[in-house]
Chain A
């Protein structure tokens, strides 16, 4: 492709060297060429977007239709006996079925099966198994794995829920205690610590008002230049956010983020709010988040101890963290194990049990393949891997009741 053009360019340059006058461009081309360019762009944009919409379709419904999102006293919770069918662009159609207690547990809330060892698992979307059929989540796979490894009959009751980050886990800790567990497992992810103070999402109405407030502020600026500049910034940001929300962008991100190096470098550029937990020296914001987590862990541990139930915490890595651990190398100033170290010391300082699965990711080539590239949640294969790792660590004796029988 390039070669032909280079040759042609040189021909044009040679013409100059000989002092030739450039031939006039036909009048029609002054109109035709811009139209051709515009048509090309429109055609390609339309074709790509339609392909992207076909390849990465999504359902009109979303999982939040089965959730109560506006109760700050409880945090986000499932609507009892509700069912939602949801497909995010990168996943298959997934059913979310909530029992009479509003849990995606795969069983009715109530007493354990006779003779079973009951784990109650809590956490946010990772624990809940977002975008993965329930029977393929690690919540569903872990009891089988543990039963095989330990010889005990194990069941797992899942009270995990989207948006149930660290503080909400503490708010809804009674859910976990009410399920009469032998052990409570908090399957945390970096997002749980990032959103440690989160309780309920901001309403759409307030987001909409934000735009009008910004426009109003822009119109209130002193000079016409400042008004114009502010309005331009709002308009371009709006246009960019619309373009960024297109399915074409999602499709390209999906394919680009299949590359380990591209994904990690993009993620690390994403700002301290999201990627700060990967830094060897956490920022003040992250230290505050860890302090909030410390208070919530102290609260949960005290309640678990009072009930005589072991409280176990595990950190599930997010996609970039898993990729970095697997690569074995990361840029200076970063440490994918840092957050785990902090969380372990928080948990153990309050008398809790911490289990460590991060080093196991060193032995998995390209573990980021087992997450949805753009969405970032583990896919069904990722859940199977996590189930295996959790079973291995739990059966090792961290929890006495789950120690493998000789």
Chain B
């Protein structure tokens, strides 16, 4: 149930059908709440394991109430308390082993609940946005089963606008059809594409330690590096496709989390397209306040761009560190923050060297964009080694071939990504340019029915006839 399984989809569709029995917001809220509780109950039958989660939710709500009642000084305390308890419950490895709870307990989705709780507390402290969030609304928002496991991270006002609307948003046959097609697409991505890409990566990893001739070993290194970003995309975005569609069938619009990330021509652009709700959250609550605070303290105009670079580093370092509890994720964070900062410095340097107009013209150059796209993919692929591997595996992989050979592999990845992703962009544009009066043929409902049927058939054969289970949703571990 905590993956993009057939059971999860059926559960979501049943909840959506029940929810649509009445247009009343009370009814819809009751159905969503009961479905979310039932979802948790299906994940664990032992109520005791939920006690820490309940405590965490109550702590967050207490903090929210204090801030809502005008105790603005309580905001910092509440935020710190929630973060500290979160770190403790998630058993971050820098804390001593002895302080952790001994018995097993439920932490699935805790990271995403954290973001929602922090968002509520911070917004409650904003004098311009006074509102009261009742306990029921708080629980429905934080425990919403469509966003519990892996997001997306939705703002409360957006959630409340749809969930508690007197007149619910339209849900006609066209929208239902689009959502069903999206569920099939998401199911295919997770259960077929991600499964195959995972196998490619696992095979390549095993081959790295086998006695293979050098060309084959280099090819294994190439596949190992390239397969994981695509796997992660199929795994995570497929799950997000399913939950966005299920929520939409319950008349709630969840924010998009991906926007063609491998089309990004720079690392800055990449993080505008990958896990969008996470990067947006951190830009809102870390980057902006930090930059404002630094600019207030350091008033030098010359240093302003560098302050931005520093804030970018801190923000995306936190993006990386958030993903895990071990030292590997610190390196992952440094690589994300480093990539973003170097990218920003490069832009600043070019703008200074070429002038604003010159830089703008240069940035539009299709060859520059193509190589930028290839480099962005390569850097992300490189950084993901600290995302999926532990130090032992990293050591094994990077010592399997020499440094010079790795450089050849990364150069090959950069060039291949440049060429392949460019061909994909051109092909996509060409296909979408075939239009009728209603829009591109490829996005017509007839085309959608054809490929949803094809993807559905493939997913059925792989999942049910071949009984091939897909790997877990990677982001549910965070």
Contact call B461/A4, Cβ cutoff below 8 A: no
* CB of B176, distance to nearest CB on chain A (Å): 10
* CB of A330, distance to nearest CB on chain B (Å): 11
With a cutoff of 8 Å between Cβ atoms, the chain A residues found around residue B203 in the complex are 259-261
Contact call A248/B199, Cβ cutoff below 8 A: no
Among residues 441 to 460 in chain B, which have CB atoms less than 8 Å away from a CB atom of chain A? 442-443, 445-446, 448-454, 456-457
With a cutoff of 8 Å between Cβ atoms, the chain B residues found around residue A20 in the complex are 170
Mask, A1-29, CB within 8 Å of B = 1, is 11111111110110011001111110001
Contact call A328/B209, Cβ cutoff below 8 A: yes
User: Which of under 10, 10 to 19, 20 to 34, or 35 or more describes the interface residues of A?
Assistant: 35 or more
Is the CB of A228 closer than 8 A to any CB of chain B?
no
Q: How far is the CA of A176 from the CA of B457 in the complex (A)?
A: 52
Contact of A3 among B172, B428, B445, B465 (CB under 8 A): B428
* CB of A91, distance to nearest CB on chain B (Å): 21
Contact call A365/B185, Cβ cutoff below 8 A: no
Contact call A5/B185, Cβ cutoff below 8 A: yes
Among residues 381 to 397 in chain B, which have CB atoms less than 8 Å away from a CB atom of chain A? none
Among residues 10 to 56 in chain A, which have CB atoms less than 8 Å away from a CB atom of chain B? 10, 12-13, 16-17, 20-25, 29, 32-33, 36-38, 40-41, 44-45
Is the CB of B366 closer than 8 A to any CB of chain A?
no
Among residues 217 to 274 in chain B, which have CB atoms less than 8 Å away from a CB atom of chain A? 237, 244, 248, 253, 256, 258-260, 263
Contact call A22/B465, Cβ cutoff below 8 A: no
Q: For A34, give the chain B residue with the smallest CB separation.
A: B449
Contact call A365/B468, Cβ cutoff below 8 A: no
Is the CB of B210 closer than 8 A to any CB of chain A?
yes
Is the CB of A244 closer than 8 A to any CB of chain B?
yes
Contact call B182/A37, Cβ cutoff below 8 A: no
Q: How far is the CA of A185 from the CA of B468 in the complex (A)?
A: 39
Task: Check A22/B174 contact, CB under 8 A, given A16-B169, A328-B209.
Answer: yes
**Contacts across chains A and B counted by CB atoms under 8 Å:** 138
With a cutoff of 8 Å between Cβ atoms, the chain B residues found around residue A2 in the complex are 185, 189, 237, 260
Q: How far is the CA of A41 from the CA of B198 in the complex (A)?
A: 27
* CB of B386, distance to nearest CB on chain A (Å): 21
Contact call A252/B443, Cβ cutoff below 8 A: no
Q: How far is the CA of A252 from the CA of B467 in the complex (A)?
A: 12
* CB of A388, distance to nearest CB on chain B (Å): 16
Contact of B457 among A9, A41, A329 (CB under 8 A): A41
Contact call A25/B465, Cβ cutoff below 8 A: no
Contact of B443 among A4, A253, A259 (CB under 8 A): A4
Contact of A6 among B256, B448, B451 (CB under 8 A): B256
Contact call A9/B178, Cβ cutoff below 8 A: yes
Contact call B206/A244, Cβ cutoff below 8 A: no
Is the CB of B212 closer than 8 A to any CB of chain A?
yes
* CB of A64, distance to nearest CB on chain B (Å): 26
Contact call B173/A261, Cβ cutoff below 8 A: no
Is the CB of B65 closer than 8 A to any CB of chain A?
no
Is the CB of B432 closer than 8 A to any CB of chain A?
yes
With a cutoff of 8 Å between Cβ atoms, the chain A residues found around residue B200 in the complex are 259
With a cutoff of 8 Å between Cβ atoms, the chain B residues found around residue A363 in the complex are 211
Q: For B169, give the chain A residue with the smallest CB separation.
A: A16
With a cutoff of 8 Å between Cβ atoms, the chain A residues found around residue B127 in the complex are none
Mask, A223-249, CB within 8 Å of B = 1, is 000000000000000001001100011
Q: How far is the CA of A41 from the CA of B206 in the complex (A)?
A: 37
Is the CB of A327 closer than 8 A to any CB of chain B?
yes
Contact call A252/B256, Cβ cutoff below 8 A: no
Is the CB of A84 closer than 8 A to any CB of chain B?
no
* CB of B155, distance to nearest CB on chain A (Å): 14
Contact call A249/B206, Cβ cutoff below 8 A: no
Is the CB of A366 closer than 8 A to any CB of chain B?
yes
Task: Check A5/B449 contact, CB under 8 A, given A10-B256, A259-B199.
Answer: no
Q: How far is the CA of A213 from the CA of B216 in the complex (A)?
A: 55
Chain A residues touching B, majority SS:
helix
Q: How far is the CA of A256 from the CA of B200 in the complex (A)?
A: 10
Contact of B207 among A25, A269, A329, A365 (CB under 8 A): A365
Contact of A365 among B211, B451, B454 (CB under 8 A): B211
Contact call B453/A41, Cβ cutoff below 8 A: yes
Q: How far is the CA of A188 from the CA of B279 in the complex (A)?
A: 59
Q: How far is the CA of A37 from the CA of B452 in the complex (A)?
A: 8
With a cutoff of 8 Å between Cβ atoms, the chain A residues found around residue B87 in the complex are none
Is the CB of B462 closer than 8 A to any CB of chain A?
yes
Is the CB of A266 closer than 8 A to any CB of chain B?
yes
Q: Which of B206, B256, B446 has the most CB of A within 10 A?
A: B206
Q: How far is the CA of A256 from the CA of B467 in the complex (A)?
A: 12
Q: How far is the CA of A40 from the CA of B449 in the complex (A)?
A: 9
With a cutoff of 8 Å between Cβ atoms, the chain A residues found around residue B256 in the complex are 6, 10
Mask, A247-289, CB within 8 Å of B = 1, is 0110011001001111000100100000000000000000000
With a cutoff of 8 Å between Cβ atoms, the chain B residues found around residue A3 in the complex are 259-260, 263, 428
Q: For B201, give the chain A residue with the smallest CB separation.
A: A261
* CB of A191, distance to nearest CB on chain B (Å): 21
With a cutoff of 8 Å between Cβ atoms, the chain B residues found around residue A40 in the complex are 449-450, 453-454, 457
User: Which of under 10, 10 to 19, 20 to 34, or 35 or more describes the interface residues of B?
Assistant: 35 or more
Is the CB of A326 closer than 8 A to any CB of chain B?
yes
* CB of B429, distance to nearest CB on chain A (Å): 10
Contact call B253/A17, Cβ cutoff below 8 A: yes
Contact of A262 among B174, B199, B212, B442 (CB under 8 A): B199
Contact call B443/A8, Cβ cutoff below 8 A: yes
Is the CB of B349 closer than 8 A to any CB of chain A?
no
With a cutoff of 8 Å between Cβ atoms, the chain A residues found around residue B445 in the complex are 29, 33
* CB of B17, distance to nearest CB on chain A (Å): 19
Task: Check A12/B209 contact, CB under 8 A, given A33-B446, A259-B199.
Answer: no
Q: How far is the CA of A32 from the CA of B177 in the complex (A)?
A: 13
Task: Check A36/B258 contact, CB under 8 A, given A9-B178, A22-B175.
Answer: no
Contact call B449/A36, Cβ cutoff below 8 A: yes
* CB of A247, distance to nearest CB on chain B (Å): 12
Contact of A36 among B446, B462, B468 (CB under 8 A): B446
Q: How far is the CA of A9 from the CA of B446 in the complex (A)?
A: 15
* CB of A371, distance to nearest CB on chain B (Å): 16
Contact of B468 among A21, A44, A243, A266 (CB under 8 A): A266
Q: For A3, give the chain B residue with the smallest CB separation.
A: B260
Contact call A6/B260, Cβ cutoff below 8 A: yes
With a cutoff of 8 Å between Cβ atoms, the chain A residues found around residue B258 in the complex are 6
Q: For A248, give the chain B residue with the smallest CB separation.
A: B461
Contact call A16/B170, Cβ cutoff below 8 A: yes
Contact call A252/B462, Cβ cutoff below 8 A: yes
* CB of A5, distance to nearest CB on chain B (Å): 7
With a cutoff of 8 Å between Cβ atoms, the chain A residues found around residue B248 in the complex are 13
Q: How far is the CA of A328 from the CA of B209 in the complex (A)?
A: 9
Q: How far is the CA of A40 from the CA of B453 in the complex (A)?
A: 6
* CB of B345, distance to nearest CB on chain A (Å): 29
Q: Which of B169, B237, B450 has the most CB of A within 10 A?
A: B450
Q: How far is the CA of A329 from the CA of B440 in the complex (A)?
A: 50
With a cutoff of 8 Å between Cβ atoms, the chain B residues found around residue A16 in the complex are 169-170, 175, 253
Q: How far is the CA of A12 from the CA of B466 in the complex (A)?
A: 36
Contact of A13 among B181, B253, B259 (CB under 8 A): B253
Is the CB of B202 closer than 8 A to any CB of chain A?
yes
- Taking A260-B203, A365-B210 as known contacts, 17 extra A-B pairs with beta carbons closer than 8 A to each other, sorted by chain A number, are A3-B263, A4-B432, A4-B440, A8-B439, A9-B178, A12-B174, A21-B172, A24-B172, A25-B177, A40-B449, A40-B457, A41-B456, A248-B461, A259-B199, A259-B202, A259-B203, A366-B207
Q: List 10 A-B contacts (CB under 8 A).
A: A3-B263, A4-B442, A7-B443, A37-B449, A44-B453, A244-B465, A261-B198, A262-B199, A326-B210, A366-B210
Q: Using a CB–CB distance below 8 Å, which chain B residues touch chain A?
A: 169-170, 172-175, 177-178, 181-182, 185, 189, 195-196, 198-200, 202-203, 206-207, 209-212, 216, 237, 244, 248, 253, 256, 258-260, 263, 428, 431-432, 439-440, 442-443, 445-446, 448-454, 456-457, 461-462, 464-469
Identify the 4 closest CB pairs spanning chains A and B, nearest first.
Answer: A261-B202, A22-B172, A40-B453, A365-B210
